Amino acid sequence: MDNKFDLIVIGAGSGGLAAAKRAASYGARVSIIEGSKIGGTCVIRGCVPKKLMVYAANSNNDIKNSSGYGISFEDLTFNSEILLKNVKDEVSRLSKMHLNSLSKLNVKVFNGWGSFIDQNHIEISCPNTGKSINKISGERILISVGGKPKRLNIQGGQFLWSSNDLFELNSFPDSILIVGGGYIACEFACIFRNLGIEVTQVIRSNNLLNGFDADLSNSLKDTIISSGIDLLFNEQLSSVSKKRDVLEINFKSGLKRVFNSVLVAAGRTPNLDNLKLTSIGLEMNGEYLKVNEFNQTTKKNIFAIGDIIDKPNLTPVAIEQGRVFADNYYGGLSRLVNYKFVPKAVFTIPELASVGMTEKEAIEKFSKENIKIFKCKFVPMSNTFKNNKNKSMLKLVVKKIDDKILGCHMFGDASSEIIQMASVALNAGVTKKEFDMTMALHPTVSEEFVTMY
């Protein structure tokens, strides 16, 4: 009985933890397998430690730019060793908190990597030696192993960091090259630059943040350039060589540059390699596992959630998928995940956030004549006396025929907090007229959303 469970969860990230806890709360006998710290990407090497670094960068940026408010300083310094130690301590605290909550719910935790023997049996291997240490069986199995950073297959690629490596550092470098134009690359570019580090960002295309509204991308581009980050568009690395304490980078254009370190943030891919999925013959949807609307794979007792399926790869989405799974199969409910209006944010400096359709998506679906764009761009009051004059940008995408708001986008401080509440409105089917009828709260940035004409 010690090795037989109602539910086996492979991967103790946000989604897996949510499913395991919810299923156990219904009385299911649950086990969870994890070869690293409990918490997964978001808690250990993603959202949480990154956001703590963003707070540090924002604090440093605010102090440096606030002389107009009468705030003066001498010999302002930043000690990355203190920040990184505190971040690691907080991550460990959160991991232990999750472990304690699993214990209180009688969820059996196996420290190791799980792989399939057949569709009901899992082998657990030691995270250090790779040797088999246990075998367990489950009536249902939930795969929630998350994603992993993509690596560059080039000469000298072993010298390049991934985003995982950043959270293991003891101190920050003096200069860094960041490869990629997505949200991870842009976030770390802003973190490092606003903490006084020399940053160059190389992007293989001609724009930042593919998939976000173009006005958001352009606003970020302007701010990144004004902050002193060197952007290299339409460029790629060809090789890397280590020269004493620096890395010499050869670009495909023939350009050569030298940096203390290089971070590759060029996307993520499902972390499925070690599961031995060929032994059970699960069908794939490209690089993702194929699932139905209930997150069930092509084997009826095996389910998948999070970054390994073709849905928005976001922590709250994985958590909801895990809870919906547990509610349906252990709580007697019948629920589906609501993917209609999923908000997303990029924690650059300043940050940006979005919910619903971009202008481009709306045009492609309804045609340009059938949508209306409302937009404003301005220097926020908070920057009145600051040295920088970064502008905020707010934008609404509206369908003409029924006045429904299709998309809401914002660039500027507190964008994520504001767009979270805008998501509630869009999910309820709000119209532009209803935005207009809402009283403004003055003086705020967000009041522009209800006063745009």
Q: Residue 241: what residue type?
A: S
Q: Residue 18: what residue type?
A: A
What is the Cα Rg of the chain in Å?
Answer: 24
Q: Which of 300, 307, 302, 276 is nearest to 124 (CA)?
A: 276
Of the options 3.50.50.60, 3.10.20.30, 1.10.10.60, 3.40.640.10, the CATH number for the domain spanning 4-148+269-330? 3.50.50.60
Q: Which of 98, 121, 409, 442 is catalytic?
A: 442
Confidence of residue 300 (pLDDT cuts 50, 70, 90): very high
Spatial distance between the Cα atoms of 337 and 233, rounded to a whole number of angstroms: 38
- 362-389 residue pLDDT tens: 999 999 999 999 999 999 999 999 988 8
Confidence of residue 73 (pLDDT cuts 50, 70, 90): confident
Q: Is the pLDDT of residue 313 over 60?
A: yes
pLDDT at 387: 85
The b/e string for 400-427 (b: 16+ C-beta within 10 A; e otherwise) is eeeebbbbbbbbbbbbbebbeebbebbe
pLDDT at 211: 93
- 400-429 residue pLDDT tens: 999 999 999 999 999 999 999 999 999 999
- 158-172 residue pLDDT tens: 999 999 999 999 999
Mean pLDDT over the full length of the chain? 96
Cα separation values, 107 from 39, 98, 133, 301, 337, Å? 15, 11, 19, 19, 24
Q: Is the pLDDT of residue 326 over 70?
A: yes
> Residue ranges of the alpha helices (H) in 46-107?
47-64, 80-104
- 76-88 residue pLDDT tens: 899 999 999 999 9
Domain 350-450 has CATH 3.90.1150.10: no
pLDDT at 74: 82
Decide whether 4-148+269-330 matches 350-450 in CATH topology: no
- Active-site residue 442, yes or no? yes
Q: Is the pLDDT of residue 1 over 60?
A: no
Q: What is the pTM for the complete model shown?
A: 0.95
Q: Is the pLDDT of residue 176 over 70?
A: yes
Domain 151-266 has CATH 3.20.20.70: no
Across the beta sheet with 246-251, the strand order is 237-243, 246-251, 256-259
Mean pLDDT value across residues 100-127? 97
Q: Is the pLDDT of residue 102 over 80?
A: yes
For 366, phi and psi rounded to 5 degrees?
-115, -10
Domain borders along the chain are: 4-148+269-330, 151-266, 350-450
